[in-house]
Structure 1
Amino acid sequence: MTSLPSPLVVDDLSFRYRDRQGAAIDNISFEVKPGEILLIAGASGCGKTTLVRCINGLIPRSYKGDVSGKILVFGEEVKDWKLSQISQKIGTVLQDPERQILGTKVVNEVAFGLENLGMPREEIYQRVDEALNFLKITHLRNRETFNLSGGEKQKVALAGVLAMRPSILLLDEPLASLDPASAQDTLDAVRTLADQGLSVLMVEHRVEDVLRIHPERVMFMSEGQVRYLGDVAGLSKVVNYREVKLPAQDIIDRAKHDPAPLVLSPLPGAGKGPDGEALVKFKDVAFGYEAEREVLHGINLEINRGDVIAVLGPNGAGKTTFVKHAIGLLKPKSGSVLVNGRDTREASVAEIASMLGYVFQSPSHMLFAPTVREELAFGPTNMKHPKDQIEQEVKEALKIVNLSEKENDPPLALSFGQQKRVSIAAILAMQSKILVMDEPTAGQDYQNYMNFMDSILKMPVFEAIIFITHDVDLAVIYANRVLMVNDGQLVADGKPQDVLRDFDRLRANRLIPTSLLDLNLKRFSTTGRFMRAEALAHI
């Protein structure tokens, strides 16, 4: 009896983008079996997304350059296949769901691929409902896609791919925008699909989360090459624990042999302001995008000098809507928001920008300039900073986000993780007093996000920092105050050690306790503060 060919074989694959020096991926070979989950890990910009683009046919059709080697799908070479042919066998969920969603309503978006195949209407609706049910998002069926949160968009993009019933599933950072409980649901769904015979390649920085569903193998990439391909047990021995975020105990075991990291002190800007006035004040704020649907209900809080605030909560809870009120992008339907004592209804967005700088969740909402350097110079130029000061601000911001060598590259030609860092650098260059970041670590490897968060906390210009995150560990390491938002209400506000020790409340707000949080709570009586795993290794 002859055995069936493997769903996917990649043979000696190399690719160099037309407008860049050096190969993005180099001599990559591997095979994926039916029902296997292959986790692909590595630093931001190491070639993971390029590999995905080669497999799903976007290279060389949409991204031009020099390609060599072979890709076989069920024994057939795919280089002459049409994209429509490839998409029936290989489903892809992109890193940035904004780039994938075309339909105005969720039901139309999920049906889009099936309609293009000319399927009967009845079968389309059956498959759409099946995909929505499977991902537990039936309640989103008739919602406008524009008004969905980033995490909800991520799930809708996945539903559209699953409705096509591919044999191979490529997931490029599928957890980046998801709250921890949704990430767990998505991973459980992926495990179920693999157990039913689907082959899954998952590019992901949230390695600890993926290990919970026992991927059959792990591939570790660095500088466009495969450095490790094998079982999970061997991963922590070969990877750089600073690049790939391993479970906290694994980091502690490795880090105890290295020098202890510096302990960060609070913001240099803390304690400024003799007037005692809050930087930002919310008074009974209520808001809704649609007349009949209120998103925020009666929010009251103050943001003060020295606050490093993590905003946690489920997808669709109103976190981004809340933060957009602080920066004047949205105005309350009732109540008021005061920035430096001034009502945001009376101030223009440009006026508020000198006080608050905002990094959007999706970099594609921010980036437009032909080069990274021009992108970073745009804000300071508009704010009429002196020319020589702008040069200095741009250089410093590029250094902080580790992109100095990319200053002449087009921002939209960079990887998603690099684009995200450009969008952060663009706001850093403006030197606003309050830095507001929506999902700053999406698409970032561990080393990059630790480096730029460390650098930001040392910058004397910032009087307060606010970041929305689904990464509980980011709140553990950096925040001195945690806000928990759910269903448009503030359900908790306090020190991380007070808010995060209540595991029942965490789970009720779709947050999952992590190995780092657990270790910090156990050692809190000794340390008196929350710390990163590398620092705990030396206690």
Structure 2
Amino acid sequence: SELAFGLENEGRLPEEIQRRVADTVEALHLQELQRRSIFSLSGGQKQLLAFGSVYAMGPEVFVLDEPTANLDQDAIARLHDQIACLKHQGRTVVIAEHRLYFLTDLIDRALYLRDGVLEHTFNREQFCGLTEQEREELGLRTLTPAACTLPAVAPAGTKEGLSVEGLTCAYRKEPAVFQGLSFSARPGEVVSITGPNGVGKTTLSRCLCGLIREQAGQIRLDGRHLNRKERQKAAFCVMQDVNHQLFSDSVWGECRMSTPDAPDSTVEEVLDSLHLLPFRERHPMSLSGGQKQRLAVATALLSEKPILIFDEPTSGLDYARMVEVSGVIRNLAQQGRIVLVVTHDREFMQRSCDRVLRL
């Protein structure tokens, strides 16, 4: 229905709509998403579906805003091939993006914006020829695919920290997303949770936070079993779509909801560390995507809960802000928190995490 929606609004004939939807499913390899409720899809699957709904309409100009924000490595490779196909068809493609490595063989020009001003225009050779120092000074992410060489997550059973033992979870009335999952995470450790889109990473984070009920297994903190309500008190999750957890009418008010009794100096220090202090009176919904992401991180910092879970914390972030969030997460671990990070971002993973759980 989503793929057909735009074509229906243009008043296309039913036969043409059916043909175009079928062609889109075939071209973009969306067979596994057919007949699924869009509300049961993961963030990355929704991203692919959104691209498909535009592709089906066949526009001359495609404008993509952070298209890889929630995509796994295979989906990014597919997106690369789809963009190459659009170029071959003679379409114009404009992409606003921070992850750059998958674009180096596709771009014809790179336009560099700072504070609303076009500062540089590069051709492909100039852009791909930037040195590491030049790239970092411009605040750009890596131009080459990052490798992840982290050791695997520790087995369950630890008496110190978080122990997940034989966990089985389902999303609403769907079949079990994963079964018998076991691992542990110690205080001072940053554990990355990664895997293909739709494999259950967000479901796992919601269960650990007590937002959904487990079907089997148990979750322990320092050897003590935590029921769902106890997990809600012990864990804080920064969601993949942070719009779902910003409620106040100001940045300052948002922080105060997390820590009503902390001194103003503490809130100021946290906001300043994330370059948000100048926006203290701004409405959260007026911030950019990256600023909203950092505000949600600030509320997690101020919550002082022992278990912190970040779901795709670098979506929409440039190199400098990614480094900042990496520093914040490492600092939280050094304070003795248990930190779990759901991410596909290998550059960030390698910089910030100690171990990896691959679902």
TM-score by length of 2: 0.89
Q: Is the 8 A contact 1:205 1:244 kept in 2?
A: yes
Aligned counterpart, 1:126: 19
Match of 1:371 among 250, 271, 284: 250
Check whether the contact 2:70–2:315 (CA below 8 A) recurs between aligned residues. yes
Q: Which residue of 1 aligns with 2:3?
A: 110
Q: CA deviation at 1:214?
A: 2.6
Bigger mean CA deviation after superposition, 238-247 or 371-380? 238-247
Q: For residues 123 and 390 of structure 1, do their structure 2 counterparts lie closer, same or farther at Cα, with a shift above 3 Å needed?
A: farther
Tell me which residue corresponds to 2:292. 419
1: CA distance between counterparts of 2:253 and 2:232? 18
Mapping for residues 261-280 of structure 1, pairs under 5 Å: 277-280=159-162
* Contact in 2 for aligned 1:280/1:326 (Cα 8 Å): no
Match of 2:338 in 1: 464
- Deviation of 1:280 after TM superposition, in Å, equals 2.0
Aligned partners of 1:352, 1:340: CA distance in 2, in Å? 13
- 3-state secondary structure, aligned to 1:124: helix
Q: Deviations over 1:219-273 (max 9, x none)?
A: 1111111111130222326655461023369xxxxxxxxxxxxxxxxxxxxxxxx
Number of aligned residues: 342
Alignment of 1:80-91 (within 5 A): none
Which residue of 1 is the match for residue 312 of structure 2? 439
CA distance in 2, matches of 1:400, 1:354: 26
> Who is 2:180 aligned against?
298
147-156 or 294-303, which moves further after superposition? 294-303
Unaligned runs of 5+ in 1: 1-107, 250-275, 486-539
Query: Do the aligned residues in 2 keep the contact of 1:331 with 1:344 (CA within 8 Å)?
Result: no
Change (3 A) 1:462 1:360: farther
Provide closer, same or farther for how the CA distance between residues 232 and 292 of structure 1 changes in structure 2, counting only shifts above 3 A: closer
Using the TM superposition, give the Cα deviation of residue 286 of structure 1 relative to its aligned residue in structure 2, in angstroms: 1.1
Compared CA separation, residues 134 and 234, structure 1 to 2 (3 A): same
Amino acid across the alignment from 2:175: R
Residue 247, structure 1, aligned to residue 116, structure 2: no
Match among 229, 241, 262 for residue 362 of structure 1: 241
Whichever residue aligns with residue 109 of structure 1, its letter is E
Q: Within 5 Å, which residues of 2 pair with 1:267-416?
A: 277-291=159-173, 293-345=175-227, 347-348=228-229, 351-381=230-260, 386=261, 389-416=262-289
1:280 and 1:149 mapped to 2: Cα distance?
A: 25
Change (3 A) 1:209 1:462: farther
Q: Please report how far the alpha carbon of residue 340 of structure 1 lies from its aligned counterpart in structure 2 after TM superposition.
A: 4.3
The within-5 A match list for 1:160-239 is: 160-211=53-104, 213-235=105-127, 236=130
Describe the SS at the equivalent of 2:90: coil
Q: Which residue of 1 aligns with 2:355?
A: 481
Report the aligned-residue RMSD: 2.0
Which structure has the greater CA radius of gyration?
A: 1
**Are the aligned partners of 1:379 and 1:426 in contact in 2 as well (CA < 8 Å)?**
yes
> 5 Å matches for 1:30-49?
none
2:309 aligned counterpart, secondary structure? strand
- How far apart in 1 are the matches of 2:20 and 2:221? 48
CA distance in 2, matches of 1:165, 1:143: 23
Give the conservation status (yes or no) of the 8 Å contact 1:435–1:462: no
String of CA shifts for 1:24-59, please: whole Å, max 9, x gaps: xxxxxxxxxxxxxxxxxxxxxxxxxxxxxxxxxxxx
Change (3 A) 1:408 1:291: closer
Contact kept, 8 Å, 1:438 with 1:469, in 2: the verdict is yes
Please say if residues 329 and 352 of structure 2, whose CA atoms lie closer than 8 Å, have aligned partners that are also in contact.
no
Q: CA deviation at 1:314?
A: 0.8
The structure with higher relative contact order (CA 8 Å, sep 6+) is 2
Match of 1:455 among 328, 332, 355: 328
Contact map agreement 2:326 2:351 (CA 8 A) in 1: no
Structure 1 residue runs of 4+, over 6 Å off? none
SS of 2:63's equivalent in the other structure is strand
Q: Percent identity?
A: 29
Tell whether the 8 Å contact from 2:211 to 2:232 is kept in structure 1 after alignment.
no
Q: Report the CA distance shift for 1:403/1:117 in structure 2 as closer, same or farther (over 3 A).
A: same
Alpha-carbon distance change, 390 to 144 in structure 1, aligned in 2, over 3 angstroms:
farther
In 2, are the aligned partners of 1:393 and 1:430 still within 8 Å (CA)?
no
- Distance in 2 separating the partners of 1:476 and 1:461: 20
The structure 2 residue matched to 1:146, chosen from 36, 39, 50, is 39
Which AA in structure 2 matches 1:307?
E
Over residues 62-108 of structure 1, what are the superposed CA-to-partner deviations in whole Å (9 max), with x where a residue is unaligned? xxxxxxxxxxxxxxxxxxxxxxxxxxxxxxxxxxxxxxxxxxxxxx1
State TM-score, norm by structure 1. Answer: 0.61
Counterpart amino acid of 1:362? D
CA distance in 1, matches of 2:121, 2:251: 34
Q: 1:186 & 1:414 partners in 2: Cα distance?
A: 28
Compute the displacement of 1:304 (Å): 1.6
